[in-house]
């Protein structure tokens, strides 16, 4: 009951939305793998293979070097935002808005495909050097641009959350972790990064760098543009400052405060869950090809049926709940990855060891195989 009293409606909303984003992004990623496999089979007479890296040029696979240097790059970006925010805020706001527009269009694309399927052919419309797009893609992009414009004009937190959701899903779907080794390197480095900038940055910079950057609003580009062009004192001055979509925020039931969760605390564990979902699918296909060969003899059949995805997802929920309770007990911001990383990685490593998959998942979990893949509807 004590733990329940420390979690209000805003935290519950954060839990549900973050889990839904991770699940949806992971299945979109798996769906993209299936589509790429089907395209490879159509374009080549050779058998397609299910591997960790996709042939799609838009998909980025993180290697060990990138996993090690990503926390360093994030730290440099954080310091730039901390010291030079006034100088780069407009550029950063515009870049964020452009990325959020593309990401939210990706989030809306399945819905737009469903809506346009009965009344519009799937032929692509040419826009010259801009490329060729289907009616569903044009509709999703138009809706996304409209939402971003309304967000710029109003600065409403719901619109900011919608853009942040698009960014989460797009990053989970387009970024790949190729192995458990890279996953451990990335999440461990980001855990150290998160703990340092939340707990220890105040001793060096006399301010909590992470919290200040995450909560600092930026000038509205319309206001800046009106001042630069000298459009008059009343033009653009009534637009609000913008809280950038780098986080999810939900107001409490009393409206006295907002619950906040950075998108990095959703995306980085989400990449791990996306990896284990792809491995679950690969193992299922491998077992079906080998006529359902049983696992190690010391593991019960019930244990074998438990998927890595469900185990890791439950660990994410428990870690998020623990982080929330800790923040309410200590009445201070908590590095969410301090709780999320152990609660996701440790159960995964333990289950992989018990099932005998740890060595395979650690280095090269996906092997070339010639098996048909089934398209997954999301």
Cα atoms in the Cβ-side hemisphere of radius 13 Å centred on 101: 19
Bridge partners for 247 per DSSP: 262
Handedness of CA 363, 352, 337, 18 (dihedral sign): positive
| CA nearest neighbour of 183 among 369, 308, 54 | 308
Query: Cβ atoms within 10 A of the Cβ of 189, count?
Result: 17
Structural domain includes residue 192 = yes
Q: How many domains does the chain have?
A: 1
3-state per-residue secondary structure call for the chain: CHHHHCCCHHHHHHHHHHHHHHHHHHHHHHHHHHHHHHHHHHHCCCCCCCCCCCCCCCCEECCHHHHHHHHHHHHHHHHHHHHCHHHHHHHHHHHHHHHHHHHHHHHHHHHHHHHHCCCCCCCCEECHHHCEECHHHHHHHHHHHHHHHHHHHHCCHHHHHHHHHHHHHHHHHHEECCCHHHHHHHHHHHHHHHHHHHHHHHHHHCCCHHHHHHHCCECCHHHHHHHHCCCCCCCCCCCCCECCCCEEEEECCCCCCEEEEECHHHHHHHHHHHHHHHHHHHHHHHHHHCCCCCCCCCCCHHHHHCCHHHHHHHHHHHHHHHHHHHHHHHCCCCCCHHHHHHHHHHHHHHHHHHHCCHHHHHCCCCCCCCCCCCCCCC
pLDDT in 10s for each residue of the chain, 378 residues:
333 345 566 777 788 899 999 999 999 988 888 887 777 776 665 444 445 444 455 788 999 999 999 999 999 999 999 998 888 888 888 999 999 999 999 999 999 888 888 776 667 777 777 778 888 889 999 999 999 999 998 988 899 999 999 999 999 999 999 999 999 999 999 999 999 999 999 899 988 899 899 888 888 888 877 777 766 555 556 788 888 888 888 887 666 667 888 899 999 999 999 999 999 998 888 777 665 445 554 455 566 677 899 999 999 999 998 988 888 888 778 899 999 999 999 999 999 998 888 999 998 787 654 444 444 444
How many whole angstroms separate alpha carbon 45 and alpha carbon 33?
A: 18
The strand pair at 132-133 and 125-126 is best described as antiparallel
Structural domain includes residue 281 = no
Structural domain includes residue 354 = no
How many whole angstroms separate alpha carbon 312 and alpha carbon 28?
A: 18
The strand pair at 175-176 and 60-61 is best described as parallel
Structural domain includes residue 309 = no
Structural domain includes residue 270 = no
Handedness of CA 96, 102, 103, 108 (dihedral sign): positive
| CA nearest neighbour of 193 among 60, 86, 80, 338 | 338
User: What global pTM score does this model have?
Assistant: 0.86
Maximum Cα–Cα distance for the chain, whole Å?
78
| CA nearest neighbour of 352 among 363, 338, 341 | 363
How many whole angstroms separate alpha carbon 195 and alpha carbon 324?
A: 15
Structural domain includes residue 147 = yes
370 Cβ partners below 8 Å, 6+ apart?
47, 48, 49
Structural domain includes residue 23 = yes
Structural domain includes residue 4 = no
Residues designated catalytic: 194, 265
Residues of the domain holding 217? 9-39+59-118+131-264
């Amino acid at each position: 009951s004590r733990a329940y009293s420390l979690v209000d409606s805003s935290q519950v909303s954060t839990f549900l939305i973050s889990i839904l984003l991770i699940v949806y992004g992971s299945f979109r990623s798996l769906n993209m793998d299936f589509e790429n496999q089907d395209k490879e089979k159509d374009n080549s007479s050779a058998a397609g293979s299910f591997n960790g890296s996709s042939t799609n040029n838009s998909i980025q696979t993180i290697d060990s070097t990138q996993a090690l240097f990503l926390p360093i790059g994030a730290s440099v970006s954080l310091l730039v935002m901390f010291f030079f925010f006034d100088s780069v805020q407009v550029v950063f706001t515009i870049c964020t808005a452009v990325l959020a527009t593309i990401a939210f269009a990706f989030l809306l694309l399945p819905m737009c495909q469903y809506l346009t399927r009965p009344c519009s052919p799937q032929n692509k419309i040419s826009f010259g050097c801009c490329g060729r797009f289907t009616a569903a893609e044009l509709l999703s992009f138009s809706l996304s641009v409209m939402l971003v414009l309304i967000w710029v004009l109003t600065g409403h937190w719901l619109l900011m959350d919608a853009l942040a959701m698009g960014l989460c899903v797009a990053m989970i779907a387009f970024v790949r972790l190729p192995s458990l080794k890279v996953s451990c390197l990335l999440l461990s480095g980001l855990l150290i990064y998160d703990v340092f900038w939340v707990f220890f940055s105040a001793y060096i910079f006399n301010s909590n760098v992470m919290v200040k950057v995450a909560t600092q609003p930026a000038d509205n580009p319309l206001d800046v543009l009106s001042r630069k062009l000298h459009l008059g004192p009343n033009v653009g001055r009534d637009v609000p400052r913008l809280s950038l979509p780098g986080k999810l925020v939900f107001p409490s039931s009393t409206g006295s405060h907002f619950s906040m969760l950075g998108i990095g605390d959703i995306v980085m564990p989400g990449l791990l869950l996306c990896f284990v979902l792809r491995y679950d699918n690969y193992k299922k296909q491998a077992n079906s090809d080998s006529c359902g060969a049983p696992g190690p003899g010391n593991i019960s059949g019930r244990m074998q049926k438990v998927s890595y995805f469900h185990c890791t997802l439950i660990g994410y929920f428990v870690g998020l709940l623990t982080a929330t309770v800790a923040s309410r007990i200590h009445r201070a911001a908590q590095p969410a990855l301090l709780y999320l990383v152990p609660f996701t990685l440790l159960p995964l490593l333990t289950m992989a060891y018990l099932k005998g998959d740890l060595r395979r998942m650690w280095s090269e979990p996906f092997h070339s195989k010639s098996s048909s893949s089934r398209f997954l509807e999301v």
